[in-house]
Amino acid sequence: MCGIVGILGREPVAGQLVDALKRLEYRGYDSAGIATVENGHLERRRAEGKLKNLQERLNREPLSGLAGIGHTRWATHGKPTENNAHPHATERLAVVHNGIIENFRELREELEKEGATFGTETDTEVVAHLVTEEMKKGRSPVDAVRAALPRLRGAFALAFIFAGEDDMMIGARKGSPLAIGHGSGEMYLGSDAIALAPFTDAISYLDEGDWAVMSRDGVQIFDVAGNAVKRPVIKTSSSAFLLDKGNHRHFMAKEIHEQPEVVAHTLSHYIDMAKESVVLPGELPFEWNKIERVSISACGTAYYAGLVAKYWFERYARLPVEIDVASEFRYREAPLRKGDLALFVSQSGETADTLASLRYAKEQGLHVLSVVNVQTSTIARESDVIMPTLAGPEIGVASTKAFTCQLSVLACLAIAAGRARGAISDAEERKLVRALIEVPRHMNETLTLEGDIEALARDLGKSSDVLYLGRGTSYPLALEGALKLKEISYIHAEGYAAGELKHGPIALIDETMPVIVTAPYDSVFEKTVSNMQEVAARGGRIILLTDSKGAAEATMPGVTIITLPDMPSSVTPLVYALPVQLLAYYTAVALGTDIDQPRNLAKSVTVE
Ligand code: F6R
């Protein structure tokens, strides 16, 4: 995880570095630091905790160098203390790192034998000493980095500045993303283009194994074999204003409210509104008829989107789907058939386990299709074909709008597969597409229930455990509801398939246990009502998310009902996601937790 940034500027860069780090805080916020070089002299400032601590430190002890690097940390090796905070430095250089150096122990032993003294518990410090040792042998900074990089195992994005070098910065990438920003007489690098958005929209992405030597006049890029290479300069569209909270208290609230718009935007790229049919934005490198099985793999919320898609692919396309969390898929040696489809879902496009699963599936000869939000990400670049979600930058750590945009794309894919396989007729396709087109409207209507949901959440905040239940496509939503509540309110929550209740979790039910049931009036509603009766009979408190028909049927005692608009059951997961998110959000607001940056989490999980 972690965010890194570097600037070769014409004015003092400390303020700009902090600005860029603010945009990278989604990658971690355990500690932060910057280092600059001024008249050949390296200086650094670091602080434990959030960026504001670093900012305060800089107010007291400013830095005025025109070249510098910065880091916001998500701790992997070593506690999140100031001492372990990046940049790490020797008398020759300062370095920031995102990723993990797997062989740091053996390198550390070797370097200690050569006389290096280590002051931190981090894996990154070995990089600083390794390059320093090479420089002590008389190598230039460029040659020292060139010699050191092949010795590092693991994943990294690195940025170096050097004592005595006011116009040099070196960046390197293996396994973790790194973008180079081109300015006029200024150069930048960062973990993503969003960090660099206020400075430049001209970006080059380093490829796997690339490293780059930068001066204010430009950049020289080398590939893993040391050959000089050119990487295209692309104009990015991540405009700075998108990263504003607007008039919301939190990014999460803003992103929940953006859903009608971003889902409409995403759908408009997959649907011919006039013909009411799905038109995929890219050519597929396979024929749906030749696919015997789809293997879906993802993590967290993206995995739950995939789980909903399993129901859709099986129902609309009569296509068997196997789904696994990526951290399991990649290791369980599942028999895979060459020519089948592997489908990956990821907001960031950088999730380490999902990426590793993708590479594994590719090796096995499967077609790799990814549903990603960050189109310049590693997963996007390594896939045979991508189906983008157009959610825009998602800053809140808890995924909201990316989830519903993923569902939008996955629904369109399942419909396209169904049509191509002859499993649905044109009329059925039109019906399904019409339902999707109506989703943004239902979402807007659902958002008007916010006040009722907020009132319920105040009560939910008093519970220590919460159970979520759902059947069919509402089952993944139960899982998602529990995950959202856990991650931002820190209340223990479990999601269960409603039918599983009697196989164990029913033992937990008493008057203190809120049970949130997601149950639109669909083909399995009656079954879910029976499960609710079982909860009610044991004094459990039920919050039911349903529609007008469901509300009329659910007449057992102890039920509080939130009535959503009526809609076809094919699209309920997209719309019911909103009250599920709002319940978690307002519970966290009531408890006063750090909603956009919950403890122990980071937005982009680039470690296994
Ligand atoms: C939960 C959440 C995480 C992510 C997961 C995968 O709210 O955001 O569970 O869904 O870390 O991340 P991506 O989608 O970036 O691969």
Among 327, 330, 348, 583, say which to mutate for ligand 1: greatest number of ligand atoms within 8 Å of CB.
348
Task: Using alpha carbons, list the distances in angstroms from residue 84 to 15, 62, 88, 364, 437.
Answer: 22, 21, 8, 40, 51
Rounded to an integer, what distance in angstroms lies between the CA atom of residue 575 and that of residue 460? Answer: 21
Q: Label residue 244 by pLDDT band (50, 70, 90).
A: low
Share of the chain above pLDDT 70, in %: 98
- Window from 39-43, 52-56, 229-233, 261-265 with minimum mean pLDDT: 261-265
Contact status, residue 29 vs residue 600, Cβ threshold 8 Å: no
Q: Is the pLDDT of residue 238 over 70?
A: no
* Predicted confidence (pLDDT) per residue in 275-307, tens digit: 899 999 888 999 999 999 999 999 999 999 999
Three-class SS of 339-357:
CCEEEEEECCCCCHHHHHH
Specify whether the CB–CB gap between 33 and 54 falls below 8 A.
yes
- 355 CB near ligand 1 (under 6 Å): no
Burial of 401: CB neighbours in 10 Å, binned 0-12, 13-18, 19+: buried
**pLDDT beyond 60 at 239:** no
User: Which ligand 1 atom is the nearest neighbour of the CA of 402?
Assistant: 14
Per-residue confidence (pLDDT) for residue 607, from 0 to 100? 67
Q: What residue's CA is closest to ligand 1, atom 9? A: 300
At 419, give phi and psi (nearest 5°): -65, -45
pLDDT at 531 over 80: yes
The finding on whether 374 has its CB within 6 A of some atom of ligand 1 is: no
Q: Give me the DSSP letters along 444-504.
A: HHHHTTHHHHHHHHHHHTT-SEEEEEE-TTHHHHHHHHHHHHHHHH--EEEEEEGGGGGGT
What is the reported pLDDT for 78? 78
* Residue 608 pLDDT greater than 80, yes or no: no
Element (H, E) at 420: helix 401-420
| 286 or 530, higher pLDDT | 286
Atom of ligand 1 nearest to the CA of 301: 10
Phi, psi of 39 (to 5 degrees): 50, 45
Mean of per-residue pLDDT scores for the chain: 93
Distance 389 CA to ligand 1 centre (A): 14
- Ligand 1 atom closest to the CA of 605, numbered from 1: 11
The radius of gyration of the chain from alpha carbons, rounded to an integer in Å, stands at: 25
pLDDT of residue 273: 81
The closest alpha carbon to 43, from 166, 136, 159, 151, belongs to: 166
CA of 506 to the centre of ligand 1 (A): 29
Which atom of ligand 1 is nearest the CA belonging to 484? 7
pLDDT band at 591 (very low <50, low <70, confident <90, very high): very high
Q: Kindly report the CA angle at 272 between 266 and 273, in degrees rounded to 5?
A: 85
Ligand 1 within 6 A of 379 CB? no
Beta carbon of 605 within 6 Å of any ligand 1 atom: yes
d(CA 301, CA 402): 9
Over residues 253-262, the mean pLDDT reads 91
Decide whether any atom of ligand 1 lies within 6 Å of the 301 Cβ. yes
Atom of ligand 1 nearest to the CA of 300: 9
Residue 225 contacts by C-beta under 8 Å, 6 or more apart in sequence? Answer: none
Q: Of 503, 560, 572, 502, which is closest to residue 530 (Cα–Cα)?
A: 502
CB of 305 sitting under 6 A from ligand 1: no
Give the span between the Cα atoms of 203 and 347, in whole angstroms. 20
602: CA distance to ligand 1 center in Å? 9
Number of Cβ within 10 Å of residue 227's Cβ equals: 8
Closest C-alpha among 471, 493, 498 to residue 482:
493
Evaluate if residue 43 carries a pLDDT over 80: yes
- Alpha carbon of 412 to ligand 1 centroid (Å): 21
Q: Is the pLDDT of residue 49 over 80?
A: yes
Q: What CA–CA distance (Å, rounded) separates 50 from 180?
A: 25
Higher pLDDT, 78 or 113: 113
Q: What is the pLDDT of residue 241?
A: 42
Q: Which domains does the chain have, with CATH numbers?
A: 3-240 (3.60.20.10), 246-437 (3.40.50.10490), 448-595 (3.40.50.10490)
For the segment 539-566, what is each residue's pLDDT rounded down to a tens digit? 889 999 999 999 999 988 889 999 999 9
Q: What angle do CA 479, 334, 208 make, to 5 degrees?
A: 85
Query: Atom 7 (ligand 1): residue with closest C-alpha?
Result: 398
The torsion angle over the Cα atoms of residues 51, 56, 61 and 67, rounded to 10 degrees, is 30
What are the DSSP calls for 385-400, one per residue?
A: EEEE-------SSS--
Of residues 212, 155, 148, the one with CA closest to residue 179: 212
3-state SS of the chain: helix, strand, coil percent to 5?
40, 25, 35
pLDDT digits (tens, 9 = 90+) for 159-169: 999 999 999 99
418 lines ligand 1 (CB under 6 A): no
**Cβ pair 94, 161 in contact under 8 A:** yes
Average pLDDT for residues 4-9, to the nearest whole number? 97
**Nearest residue by C-alpha to atom 8 in ligand 1:** 399
Asked if residues 532 and 554 have their Cβ atoms less than 8 Å apart, the reply is: yes
399 pocket-lining for ligand 1 (C-beta < 6 Å): yes
Amino acid at 66: L
Cα-to-centroid distance, 401 and ligand 1 (Å) = 12
Rounded to 5 degrees, what angle do the CA atoms 568, 573, 579 make? 110
Reading the block at residue 257, the tokens are: 């409210």
Spacing, Cα 160 to ligand 1 middle (Å): 30
Active site residues: 2, 603
Out of 240-249, 277-286, 473-482, 596-605, which region has the weakest mean confidence (pLDDT)? 240-249
pLDDT over 50 (residue 240)? no
Confidence tier at 237 by pLDDT (50, 70, 90): low
